[in-house]
């Protein structure tokens, strides 16, 4: 069996070598001739899988190591009787932790009290629900907008879009859809932006096309109190350097790039492929625990911020992208891809144990709500 895979999929050669020979090719370099004799394709979001790519191929299975599937023509795969698997929810925790890190950074810069902060969570699915859980642990009140869930459940906790847009923080967690009953393409345009507070914190970790970047730039030019956190961009990897420079925090589409999320996605695709081909795979994902965190903070609020930023500080990723913004457009695009391909190892909160002082039971409880584990021994008091 011949397998063509994106090398940015974690441990993909190790995982799939028990199914066949694995050829690694960067996702933006895939061509019809490359995949013509492949049985299995394993992609990420940078590769468009459709009739153009698959015509005259013998491909029988396509897997994407992503939650989003807007880069896959699933109707075409179904017509060709090509099996398909994705990794829904594999990076949900990583994205939620990215959002928490960004909010804590900006809250400190602005002197915000989280207990007095509201968040409009646009999309209450796998990622949005985790954001709500973590925000609630921080004391942030959430207004969740999700029309599909509201229509199917009738649950009053799902609020109208205008209510969510009026919050102190607006964070986006919807799929990209240009058609159908719930389109999200350009959802955050001039009208939606006009409904937001002058000092709103807008976070996009969903897809670039959900935000109208031209309208956002106009809003930023008029209103300098607004803060933006942008991880997903229109036209990736050729992002708008002007918008990236103006944005408060700009990162190269890595919100879901924890090592844990990547291995989780590979494991999901491996299991799906083994089931489809009726093969008993030998590979299983495993990763060591992350470094232990020792806290010096005394209050729960300080401990939350300290632990989160020791585990993952979004400003590091902002600095790496910002250092590339003065490059020529082609070079910037290559740098954007390189930052993703060579991303540092980042672990989720649950991979870290936290050491507390001997009288820090309250701190232990609030950090457990964020997913941190207790360390093996108390820190010096």
pLDDT in tens, 325-350: 999 999 999 999 999 999 999 999 99
Per-domain boundaries in the chain: 2-90+258-277, 92-250, 293-374
CA geometry: angle 90, 101, 87, nearest 5 deg? 10
Active site residue 236: yes
pLDDT of residue 115: 95
Residue 296: is its pLDDT beyond 90? no
The yes/no answer on whether domain 2-90+258-277 falls in CATH 3.40.50.720 is yes
pLDDT of residue 358: 64
**CATH superfamily, domain at 293-374:** Erythronate-4-phosphate dehydrogenase, dimerisation domain (3.30.1370.170)
pTM, to two decimals: 0.92
Name the catalytic one among 163, 236, 292, 301: 236
Q: What proportion of the chain, given as a percentage, has pLDDT over 90?
A: 86
Which residues lie closer than 8 Å to 14 by C-beta, 6 or more apart?
A: 283
Confidence of residue 381 (pLDDT cuts 50, 70, 90): very low
Asked if residues 174 and 210 have their Cβ atoms less than 8 Å apart, the reply is: yes
Mean pLDDT (whole number) for 34-47: 97
Name the catalytic one among 173, 207, 270, 373: 207
Mean pLDDT (whole number) for 83-101: 97
Name the catalytic one among 130, 159, 173, 253: 253
CATH architecture of 92-250: 3-Layer(aba) Sandwich (3.40)
pLDDT of residue 278: 95
Mean pLDDT of the chain: 94
How far is residue 283 from each of residues 1, 6, 290, measured CA to CA in Å? 17, 18, 22
Mean pLDDT (whole number) for 198-205: 97
Instruction: Report CA dihedral (84, 89, 91, 97) to the nearest 10 degrees.
Output: 170
> Which segments of 54-206 are extended strands (E)?
61-64, 83-85, 118-122, 141-145, 169-172, 201-204
Asked if residues 3 and 266 have their Cβ atoms less than 8 Å apart, the reply is: no
CA distance 209 to 89: 20
Lowest mean pLDDT, pick from 190-194, 213-217, 224-228: 224-228
pLDDT of residue 366: 86
Active site residue 264: no
Active site residue 253: yes
Better pLDDT: 23 or 67? 23
Q: What proportion of the chain, given as a percentage, has pLDDT over 70?
A: 97
Neighbours of 224 (CB within 10 A): 10
Domains 2-90+258-277 and 293-374 share a fold: no
């Amino acid at each position: 069996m011949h397998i063509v895979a994106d090398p940015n999929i974690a441990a993909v050669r190790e995982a799939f070598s028990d199914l066949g020979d694995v050829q690694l090719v960067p996702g933006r370099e895939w061509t019809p001739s490359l995949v013509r004799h492949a049985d299995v394709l394993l992609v990420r979001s940078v590769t468009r899988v459709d009739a153009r790519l698959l015509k005259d191929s013998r491909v029988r299975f396509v897997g994407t190591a992503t939650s989003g599937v807007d880069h896959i023509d699933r109707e075409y795969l179904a017509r060709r009787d090509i099996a398909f698997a994705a990794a829904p929810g594999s990076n949900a925790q990583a994205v939620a932790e990215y959002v928490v890190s960004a909010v804590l950074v900006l809250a400190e810069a602005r002197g915000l009290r989280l207990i007095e902060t509201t968040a409009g969570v646009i999309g209450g699915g796998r990622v949005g629900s985790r954001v709500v859980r973590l925000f609630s642990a921080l004391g942030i009140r959430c207004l969740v907008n999700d029309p599909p869930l509201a229509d199917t459940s009738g649950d009053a906790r799902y609020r109208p879009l205008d209510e969510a847009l009026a919050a102190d923080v607006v964070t986006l967690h919807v799929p990209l859809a240009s058609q159908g009953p719930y389109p999200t393409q350009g959802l955050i345009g001039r009208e939606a932006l006009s409904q937001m507070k002058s000092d709103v914190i807008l976070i996009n970790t969903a897809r670039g096309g959900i935000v109208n970047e031209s309208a956002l730039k106009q809003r930023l030019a008029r209103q300098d109190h607004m803060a933006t956190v942008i991880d997903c961009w229109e036209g990736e990897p050729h992002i708008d350097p002007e918008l990236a420079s103006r944005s408060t925090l700009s990162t190269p589409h890595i919100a879901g790039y924890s090592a844990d999320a990547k291995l989780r996605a590979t494991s999901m695709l491996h299991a799906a492929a083994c089931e489809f081909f009726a093969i008993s795979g030998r590979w299983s994902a495993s990763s060591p625990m992350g470094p232990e965190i020792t806290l010096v903070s005394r209050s729960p609020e300080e401990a939350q911020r300290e632990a989160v930023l020791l585990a993952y500080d979004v400003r590091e990723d902002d600095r790496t992208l910002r250092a590339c913004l003065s490059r020529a457009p082609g070079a910037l695009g290559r740098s954007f891809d390189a930052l993703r391909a060579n991303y540092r190892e980042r672990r989720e909160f649950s991979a870290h144990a936290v050491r507390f002082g001997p009288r820090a039971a309250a701190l232990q409880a609030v950090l457990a709500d964020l997913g941190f584990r207790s360390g093996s021994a108390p820190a010096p008091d």
